[in-house]
Chain A
Amino acid sequence: METTDEINVGTDFAFLNNKVFGSFDYFTRKTTGILITPPVAATLGEGQTKAVNGASKSNKGWEFMAGYRGSAGNDLKYNITANITHFRDKITELPENVRPAYAGNIDNTIIGHSQFDIFGYKTDGLFQSQADVEAAPTQIGAGPGRIKYVDINDDGVINSFDQTWIGTTLPAAEYGLRLDMTYKKLDISVFGSGVAGREGFDVYTVFNNLMRGRENVGPGVFNGWTPQNTDTNVPALTLKDNNGEGRTSDYFIVNTSYFKLRNIQLGYNITPKAIFSNLRIYGMADNLFWTKSKSYLSPDPERIDLDPVPIPKTFTFGINASF
């Protein structure tokens, strides 16, 4: 049976005549007996898979929200709120026979790691010469201009046992900011949110930096390694990926933090003499701009899959009329 034990501690606060307000929440959740379907040896034939209660995990996190209500005279009123959350999960128990279905290997299991952690190879730039290749641990597919993988277990061979935990796709924090302000008949509101301290894969690197026989490639390949062009992180161009460079490695991991200004609104209220009781003219923009790390090549940091349909920028103008 799947069981969850949860503790939530929280406090709401307000002081200075409710001008400053906010809340803080801390939660921990332990789930045991999570249903999982262990892989079955092929020799047993069809219809043998069954779900069992086996895994346990824990989640911990906190949420903080604070706001300020302010005014100056009778004309200006404003309201600022900010929130920030942090969360980590950890797999604490996983039966041995299901571990092959998860990230990790025999030496380095997922126990104690998050399901969002990344398991793969560490890289150390590109091989610059044949001498460089020969001095390095044996790596099948190595050659000048090829990605150099790190021999984690120091056995002189690069193989699957050199994989390790190379990062997590969980952010250090997610946050949001909001400002609402009115000045006489004018009102303005701004809302933005983002994630901080996050890394992950940039699928564009695969298409921009690596040659692929099947698809078009990005302009990054013009900067491919050659004996003359060694100051680059783009491997030598090849149609044959003998080095297995598409494998999960920190080569593809970049800072994926971002901040997006999601919505901004500007309005003006007028009180007409007849017909309408109130009229508000407003303009609104969605997704006006965002910031992201330069090393992250994909256009939209929020869309981390391969076929990102970009979130459009939207501009709206309108009139609210009340009778």
Chain B
Amino acid sequence: MKKNIILGVFAVGILAVSSCEKELDYTPTGVLSSSDLTSPKAIDGLVTSAYAAIGNGDMIGPIYSNWVYGSVRSDDTYKGGGGTGDVGEIDALEHYNLVQPTMDAFVTRTWRNLFKSISRCNVALRAVTGLDEAAYPEKKSRLAELHFLRAHSYFTMKLLYKNIPIFDENVSQEEILQISNDLSNEESWNKIAADFQYAIDNLPEVQPELARANKLAAQAYLAKLRLYQAYEQDVNHKVTNINKSRLQEVVNLAKAVVSSGKYSLSPDIAENFLPETENGPESIFAIQFSINDGTTAGRMSYEDGLNYPHGASQYGCCGFHAGSQNLVNAHTTDANGWPNFDSFNNSIADLSIATVDPRLDHTIGIDGHPYKYDNTLPFSNSWVRDAGVYGNFHTMRFQQAASSGSYFKLGPFMGTAKNYDILRFDDVLLILAEAYIQLGQQDLALPLINQVRERAANSTSKLKKADGTFASKYNVKAIHK
């Protein structure tokens, strides 16, 4: 008996040894290799993943919310949070103090996230190009959509970093490593513009599916790009010339979008910031987010996830992104209902006396004013995390009410399923107006600006307090000569 057992052990040992080599050489499961991605269906999935990537920014590496790079660095808002050291990278950005040795959060992370998006476009472009149109009837549109998406990420990158390496899907990995960021300002704008132009030339005006980029979106985006490009800069970032022919391009592109009749202003500006009315008449291109979509945590936007009132029990974290006094002052209006163009910041606005543009109450939370259109839970100074450093105003526009179906709490942070608009019709009106003004055609600009102002004047129905009165005195009117 003993002998048999020993023999048995020996046999198992031989089996184990002989099978070893084969066991090491297996096809891993749960992994896709490029050879699996040849069918039109799989390749269409690559296009979808390129769409997904533009929404893949994160809290400390944002790629679509400009609350840090735009609002905090401007005079609109402050970092907020728990003192200046809380996410010190934002504090450094706020003070233009970029000597911090560790800027992995934000500056490098955003860079990486944007290049992930660009790389997904290039992978998908190569795959789609290899397909036959007969097998993949969407080929023409998908190629154009991918050019649009790539241009979107490069445009974002250009705004944030200015000097960037730009390459397309035809360069190898080895070549990419050799590409420098030394293109001139003009050259880099033109390269990105060429992608948008490809999109304009090949996209349909209307897409059968919501959220896909269409021709008008590409025209609107190219108008925006050419407007930036029109302000020609020297190497020290100083504007040296405003290029009139670029401005004329802006006018032509933006007019095409306006006259298409496909877009209009939402009656109330609030509709642009509420999930129930997303993909509305004003939205030209938006990053799509979702909740209750069969996944446990949805497909949510977290880039503004630190920015909920800290002291309100329905939220609980983290009090970042505080409105500045300057922002409040800038919303005050004069007896005509016009902005106090020159004097707005001469004193601290007394909101019990001053008249304001209603957009103030769509933008930030103020003590006693309804917060995110919920007048049962008005904003309170007790919600503010660090008033001593950052004041009592708190951001609101991109936040959602805790009672909203789009709101989701993941750990201490909050996500929202509300789409993020990249281009809206009001942007296009103002892009067109700015181009007219720089071309000396103020009379053409004024009606466009007044459209936006009149819509603002009409955007008060969601701002009433529980007692039916308004928290602020609104007075905003069209501007006339």
Residues of B at under 8 Å CB distance from A? 81-86, 88, 91, 95, 97, 99-101, 108, 111-112, 115-116, 118-120, 122-123, 165, 167, 173, 176-177, 179, 386, 389
Chain A to chain B contacts (Cβ below 8 Å), 18 pairs: A42-B115, A43-B115, A43-B118, A43-B176, A44-B115, A45-B115, A45-B118, A45-B120, A46-B119, A46-B120, A141-B99, A212-B83, A213-B386, A239-B84, A239-B85, A241-B84, A241-B88, A244-B99
Which A residues lie within 8 Å of B115 (CB)? 42-45
Mark each residue of chain A from 145 to 183: 1 if its CB lies under 8 Å from any CB of chain B, else 0: 000000000000000100000000000000000000000
Identify which of B99, B122, B386, B389 gathers the most chain A CB atoms within 10 Å of its CB.
Answer: B99
Q: Known contacts being A41-B177, A44-B176, A239-B389, is A213 close to B118, with CB within 8 Å?
A: no
Q: Is A240 an interface residue (CB 8 A)?
A: yes
Nearest CB in chain B to that of A41: its residue: B177
Nearest CB in chain B to that of A212: its residue: B85
Q: Is A50 an interface residue (CB 8 A)?
A: no
Q: What 8 pairs between A and B have smallest CB-CB spacing?
A: A213-B83, A45-B119, A214-B83, A42-B112, A213-B84, A42-B115, A214-B82, A214-B86
Q: Within residues 206 to 255 of chain A, which ones have a CB less than 8 A from any CB in chain B? A: 212-215, 239-242, 244, 247
Nearest CB in chain A to that of B122: its residue: A45
Size class of the contact patch on chain A = 20 to 34
Report which of B81, B97, B101, B111 forms a contact with A160, defined as CB distance below 8 A.
B101
Which B residues lie within 8 Å of A76 (CB)? none
Q: Is A7 an interface residue (CB 8 A)?
A: no
Which B residues lie within 8 Å of A214 (CB)? 81-83, 85-86
Chain A contact residues: helix, strand, loop or mixed: loop
A239 to B81, CA, bound (A): 14
CB of B385 to closest CB in A, whole Å:
10
Which B residues lie within 8 Å of A241 (CB)? 84-85, 88
A160 to B81, CA, bound (A): 29
Q: Is A140 an interface residue (CB 8 A)?
A: yes
Which A residues lie within 8 Å of B83 (CB)? 212-214, 239
Q: Known contacts being A213-B389, A214-B86, A242-B97, is A44 close to B173, with CB within 8 Å?
A: yes
Contact of B179 with A213 in the complex, beta carbons under 8 Å: no
Which B residues lie within 8 Å of A48 (CB)? 173
CB of B160 to closest CB in A, whole Å:
14
Report which of A45, A140, A240 forms a contact with B99, defined as CB distance below 8 A.
A140
Q: Within residues 25 to 56 of chain A, which ones have a CB less than 8 A from any CB in chain B? A: 41-46, 48
Contact of B100 with A244 in the complex, beta carbons under 8 Å: yes
Nearest CB in chain B to that of A243: its residue: B99
Which A residues lie within 8 Å of B167 (CB)? 43
Q: Within residues 87 to 134 of chain A, which ones have a CB less than 8 A from any CB in chain B? A: none
A247 to B97, CA, bound (A): 15
Contact of B85 with A213 in the complex, beta carbons under 8 Å: yes
Which B residues lie within 8 Å of A212 (CB)? 83, 85
A214 to B173, CA, bound (A): 44
Which A residues lie within 8 Å of B119 (CB)? 43-46
Additional 19 contacts, C-beta under 8 A, given A213-B386, A214-B83, A247-B101: A41-B176, A42-B112, A42-B116, A43-B176, A44-B119, A45-B115, A45-B123, A46-B120, A140-B99, A160-B101, A213-B85, A213-B86, A214-B81, A214-B82, A239-B84, A239-B389, A241-B84, A242-B95, A244-B101
Contact of A43 with B120 in the complex, beta carbons under 8 Å: no
Nearest CB in chain A to that of B49: its residue: A46
